[in-house]
Amino acid sequence: MDDKQVVIVTGAGGGMGKAIIEQLLAQGHTVIGLDLSITALADIKDDSLHIYEVNVLDEARVKQIIQDVYTQYNRIDSLVNALGIAQSAIPIEDVSIEQWDQLMNVNVKSIFMTVKAVVPYMKKKKKGAIVTIGSISAVRPRPGLQAYIASKGAAESLTRGLAIELAPFQIRVNTIHPGPADTQMLSQFTAVDADVEQTKEEVFLQSVPLGRLVTPNDIANAVSYLLSDAASIVTGTTLHVDGGRGL
Ligand SMILES: NC(=O)c1ccc[n+]([C@@H]2O[C@H](COP(=O)([O-])OP(=O)(O)OC[C@H]3O[C@@H](n4cnc5c(N)ncnc54)[C@H](O)[C@@H]3O)[C@@H](O)[C@H]2O)c1
């Protein structure tokens, strides 16, 4: 990234969120981290990090935080949607309406809400970058993850819709599709009665042509690129960071 940015990161306390934050701070940016659970961030000692323990679906609170950030810094350059919830692999007939709604709310509606909150400030500056963490499962599905997969497909479509809408304002919007990544979320995708470590080894790892799981740092590298001026002509695209899993 080029000049010093003010970046909002949701899912800040997650495996990928934390790596993204650490990389952005190392580059000298100011980071506003939002998450339901912020305990994982306790060891980051940096005055440029501001953490909020918040449910991103709380529209009024998120709107207020973002307004306060703009008042303090007079800029909001970027937004990274790195929050998400998983689904364990189950047949469609066992998926409850509540589970479906929860996945759609957290994995899709939250993006709509955070983008809606930051875009007025980006439009004022005629510049901005938004990155959403999707999933390679949207294009390379696994059985039993239908609701999660649908939510990630919607997140990617939303990105493309926003990219064309916001291009006149020089606001770029892109998706990253990670492959199976080494965070606590990975174990949540296994079938209810499956052995987690065995599934990681025999199913997830074996599915990656490059032969290793994606690391949070791999995702942070991709985020850094998409937020930077090096990607100034890149919008509406999906970057697969998946070791070839999508092939
Ligand atoms: N781990 C994988 O294998 C994998 C693969 C492909 C895509 N992804 C996607 O990458 C993103 C990051 O996943 P991760 O692996 O870091 O998972 P993670 O579980 O470590 O982190 C997700 C974070 O989102 C937060 N969160 C959930 N709901 C929230 C809400 N309503 N408000 C605020 N925070 C909320 C959680 O508290 C958690 O800290 C997610 O969108 C996930 O779907 C993960």
Q: Measured from the CA of 107, which atom of ligand 1 is nearest? A: 41
Confidence of residue 190 (pLDDT cuts 50, 70, 90): confident
53: nearest Cα among 33, 77, 28 = 33
- How does residue 93 score in pLDDT terms, banded at 50, 70 and 90? very high
Average pLDDT over residues 5-24: 98
85 lines ligand 1 (CB under 6 A): yes
> Is residue 176 very low, low, confident or very high in pLDDT (cuts 50, 70, 90)?
very high
Contact 182, 215 (CB under 8 A): yes
Residue nearest to atom 5 of ligand 1 (CA): 180
Mutate to test the pocket of ligand 1, among 23, 53, 80, 185 (most ligand atoms within 8 A of CB): 185
As a whole number of angstroms, the distance between CA 65 and CA 51 comes to 10
pLDDT of residue 245: 97
**CA neighbor of 81 nearest in space, from 164, 150, 7:** 7
Out of 52, 70, 121, 148, the active site residue is 148
Count Cβ atoms within 10 A of the Cβ of residue 74 and give its class: 0-12 exposed, 13-18 middle, 19 or more buried.
Answer: exposed
What is the arithmetic mean of pLDDT over 184-188? 87
Which atom of ligand 1 is least distant from the CA of 83? 24
Threshold 0.95, pTM exceeds: yes
Q: Which CATH class is domain 6-241?
A: alpha beta
62 touches 34 (CB < 8 A): yes
pLDDT at 204: 87
pLDDT score for 107: 98
Q: Which pLDDT band holds residue 78 (cuts at 50, 70, 90)?
A: very high
Mean pLDDT within 110-128: 98
pLDDT-wise least confident of 5-19, 111-125, 192-206, 216-230: 192-206
* Alpha-carbon gap, residue 122 to 129, rounded angstroms: 9
Measured from the CB, is residue 35 less than 6 Å from ligand 1? yes
List Cβ neighbours of 122 (8 Å cut-off, separation of 6 or more).
76, 77, 128, 166, 169, 171
Task: Name the more confident of 215 and 192.
Answer: 215
Measured N-to-C along each axis, helices 59-73 and 110-125 cross at an angle, to the nearest 10 degrees, of 20
Q: Is 7 helix (H, G, I), strand (E, B) or coil?
A: strand
Rg (CA), the chain: 17
Pocket test for ligand 1, best of 16, 87, 219 (most atoms within 8 A of CB): 16
